[in-house]
Amino acid sequence: MIALAAYGTNYINGKTIPSYLVLPQLKDNAKATVEIFQTLELVFPALFPDKSKNAWLESEEFMLSDEKAKDLEMQKKVAETVAIVEQMRSERVKLAKENNFIRQLLSATEDVTVEASERLSAVVKKTLEFLGFNVQDIDQKTKTAIKKEDFWVSDENFFAITEVTGTVNVNPKTKEYNDILGRMTTIFRRRTDLIPEGVSNLTGLLVLNYDCERHPSKRPRAYAGDLEHIIDAAVDQSIGILSTVELHKIIVDVKEGRLTKDRARSILKKFGRIEYKTGVEKTSDKE
């Protein structure tokens, strides 16, 4: 470790006068500063016009043992407090790392230059698993299914093919909805062994992170306005359309104890546009 110190002077009326002093981190900076000032008092008394003639009586040399003991006690308390704060800071960093996937719901995309674990599909998978869903990666399970970051998401008798997509565009594309509808049709017709026994209703869940460079409160609703007919079609086709803004609200309320995981899963099993407010969820109705 390198320790640096510095000082500066001014030349005034034929005399060189010290103007500043920079100390490195010492074992006891306060004690060192006092000793430096005491030296300066002897060399440059003009710098200390208000100094007491008997200031030397306040030095450590004339302290009694009980005074020194109290100083040591204070130093010990300071050291203990610093250690506690450092431990708490370490715990805070760990918590931030563990919770980071929740914040990433609002910004992550499928950028191939980013680590796979940081991409939107991985973040959504972790979120759904946290809420208690069973999530399987189709690409890892079979080479016959049509691929595009798809998941099988299940919970009891609920079984949905799930598409995840992220874009900086202000609105999601109609292609995303058409793609998941096509996949559902293809997979349902194949009736592959991927679908668990007893599952008669194949549903869909389209998770969208769009306009992801803007604050979530300023993002438009998914497929609003001229594209509202897609929401109506999603209800009829048993597809839930979920923005990561709404998913973020849900998982935050679960983490904060305002919503149970069971209730959160029931919200995400709805069809149409899934929207959530603390304690009040809205959907285009139909499960």
Which CATH number goes with the domain that contains 131?
Answer: 3.40.1350.10
Q: Quick check: 279 pLDDT over 80?
A: no
237 within some domain: yes
Mean pLDDT of 109-119: 87
DSSP letters along 141-181, please? H-SSS--SSEEEEEETTEEEEEEEEE-SSSS--HHHHHHHH
199 within some domain: yes
Q: Quick check: 146 pLDDT over 70?
A: no
92 within some domain: no
83 within some domain: no
Percent of the chain at pLDDT > 70 equals 80
104 within some domain: no
Last residue in a domain, options 16, 41, 62? 62
48 within some domain: yes
pLDDT (0 to 100) of residue 286: 44
53 within some domain: yes
* 126 & 266 share domain: yes
pLDDT in tens, 186-208: 776 665 555 656 666 789 999 99
Q: How many domains does the chain have?
A: 2
* 164 & 240 share domain: yes
Rounded-to-integer distance, Cα 176 and Cα 230, Å: 11
* 138 & 22 share domain: no
* 161 & 49 share domain: no
* 142 & 244 share domain: yes
pLDDT (0 to 100) of residue 235: 95
* 133 & 51 share domain: no
The string over 26-53, giving b where at least 16 C-beta atoms fall within 10 Å of a residue's C-beta and e elsewhere, is eeeeeeeeeeeeeeeeeeeeeeeeeeee
Q: Give the model's confidence band at 269: pLDDT under 50 very low, under 70 low, under 90 confident, else very high.
A: very high
* 185 & 276 share domain: yes
Torsion 46-47-53-59 (CA) sign: negative
* 125 & 38 share domain: no
* 136 & 243 share domain: yes
Helix residue ranges, H only, 105-243: 120-130, 138-141, 174-190, 228-236
Q: Identify the domain containing residue 130 by its residue range.
A: 116-282
7 within some domain: yes
pLDDT (0 to 100) of residue 27: 73
Structure tokens at 89: 């800071």
What is the pTM for the complete model shown? 0.72
Q: Give the model's confidence band at 247: pLDDT under 50 very low, under 70 low, under 90 confident, else very high.
A: very high
pLDDT (0 to 100) of residue 147: 45
